[in-house]
Structure 1
Amino acid sequence: MKHGLIAILPLAAGAAIYGFAFGLLAAQVGFPWWGVGFMSAIVHAGSSQIVAVEQFANSSAIIGAALAGATLNLRYIGIVASLSEILKELPLPLKIVAIHITGDENWALTMAERARSPSIGAPFLMGSGLAMISVWTFSTIMGAVVGTILPDLEKFGLGFAFTAAFIAMGRSLWKGTPNLIPWLSAFTFTVIAVMFGLPQAYAIVIGATVGLLFSCFIRVKQGRLP
């Protein structure tokens, strides 16, 4: 577990930066610091939290915000499935904890390390996951505390932090040209939905769903899905 905790620290430092920015802006739109911390610990998904805060602040599409967050995190179905071999020896309560603290960063690091050394398993995953969720929760709380003290951050241009965080997360998920068609289709359908007056949260759901369908179709054509 210690190995995973130490190995993830460089990635955790990067997550802390946009976690702090998220906390700042969440506080600016009215979220209390304890609410931000609770969300970070329970949801533990930066993209979903960003969408939720934006939608709760700017519209009444609460169900749409929840659906948008869930759709953005559909990738975790595949992530959790890929961990079946690693988690198979753990008792159910520990499996649930391991799944909850698994994020993009510690999952990717665990799988990369496991490819080099098959002995890497659940302790590494959980150590790196505990480090990530701790850093993420703490950084968002600190951002929220500072955000309640500072004046309106929009005039400093920090309103772009949400977009910047999404760009950073998106760049980490980019796997090259195979992603191009699903990403473009998701973007196109999201823009079209917004142009037709649909609330942004529902537009995200539509775009993500279309992108997922295109991705599945491509994988089937390539023989990577039955």
Structure 2
Amino acid sequence: MSIAEATSAADGGSRSEFRRGVASCAPVLLGTIPYALVLGAQATQKGLSTVELSLLTGLNFAGGSEFAAIQLWTSPPHILLIVAITFLVNSRHLLMGAALAPFLRDLPRRRVFPALFFMCDESWALCLADAKRRAADGVTPAFSPRYYMGAALAMYLTWVAFTTTGALLGPVLGDAGTYGFDMAFAAVFLVLLRGMWKSIAAARPWLVSLVIAALTYLFAPGAWYVAAGALSGLLAAWLTAGDA
């Protein structure tokens, strides 16, 4: 095989992996669109402009913390509170990154760190499951960067586009919750949890976080349930790390 043929084959393989990432992410994207619209509509109802909302979703790119920030938004906003809640909600990325680390150790950091900016719950779950399947099948490298970028960029562009669309349609949609769109947020995460299910022991941090957040929501005013759920889940994951 000539150099030109080898280069062409490699390019074709890269494009194929990228398309595979986009295709695997497509069902999740359909569930993402409704709650992206909800976030955009809620943001405009809180007084954010379309540009401000687009910057929020494009630079932060973490749906859970964005919903928390919008719920806490006032005029003027309590910046320190929002920053603290955002940090707590996004701290799960520490565990997500640690789970991916064994598959990324052979990749140069100049490629890994920019790529991780686009990591979200959905793309992380899909790529971790794909890497584990490839490793079990003896495929090397187990982690496919092109597959990851296909899934991650599809999620990123869809999220920013439809949160912006939701902001533009906010006055028309009114209370988007009346359409049931907000249920899509929970539904997508239930599907991801089902796809990653290993055992009851491995799911205990999820259950602890759910119970503590629900109890805090019922008995404590404000948005303390967000912090309570995040911290209790992280603590439970740390305490049970050797049991799963």
SS class of match (1:219): coil
Distance 1:156 1:15, change over 3 A: closer
130, 134, 147: which is aligned to 1:124? Answer: 147
The answer to whether the 8 A contact 2:31-2:185 is kept is no
- Per-residue deviation, residues 3-32 of structure 1 (Å, max 9, x unmatched): 212321221222122112211221222211
Q: In structure 2, how many angstroms separate the alpha carbons of the residues matched to 1:2 and 1:172?
A: 22
Kindly tell me: are residues 168 and 68 of structure 1, through their superposed partners in 2, closer, same or farther at Cα, counting changes over 3 Å? farther
AA aligned opposite 1:33: T
**Is the radius of gyration larger for structure 1 or structure 2?**
2
Specify which of 214, 222, 228 is matched with residue 187 of structure 1.
214
Query: 2:194 matched to 1:167?
Result: no
Q: Is 1:208 matched up with 2:230? A: yes
C-alpha spacing 1:61/1:166, structure 2 compared with 1 (3 Å) = farther
Q: 2:114 aligns with which of 97, 100, 104?
A: 97
Distance 1:12 1:157 in 2: 21
CA 89–213 in structure 1, closer or farther in 2 if over 3 Å, else same = closer
Distance in 2 (alpha carbons) for counterparts of 1:172 and 1:181? 19
Deviations 1:120-149 (A, max 9, x none): 42121112111110111111111111114x
Contact 2:209 2:229 in 1 (8 A): no
The CA deviation string for residues 84-103 of structure 1, in whole angstroms up to 9 with x for no partner, is: 24333443332122111111
Unaligned runs of 5+ in 2: 1-17
Alignment of 1:103-122 (within 5 A): 103-117=120-134, 118-119=139-140, 120-122=143-145
TM-score relative to the length of structure 2 = 0.74
Rate the CA distance shift 1:157–1:57 in 2: closer, same or farther, 3 A: farther
AA of the residue aligned to 2:125: A
The 1:10/1:166 distance shift into structure 2, 3 A limit, reads: closer
Aligned to 2:9: none
Contact 2:25 / 2:123 at 8 angstroms: preserved in 1?
yes
Task: Quickly say closer, same or farther: Cα 1:182–1:46, change in 2 above 3 A.
Answer: closer
What is the TM-score with the length of structure 1 in the denominator? 0.80
Question: Is the 8 Å Cα contact of residues 122 and 192 (structure 2) preserved in structure 1?
Answer: no
Counterpart of 1:16? 33
SS at match of 2:175: helix
User: Unpaired runs of 5+ in structure 1?
Assistant: none
Cα displacement (A) at 1:34: 1.5
CA RMSD between the two structures = 2.7
Tell me what 2:175 maps to: 154
Aligned length: 213
Residue identity (%): 23
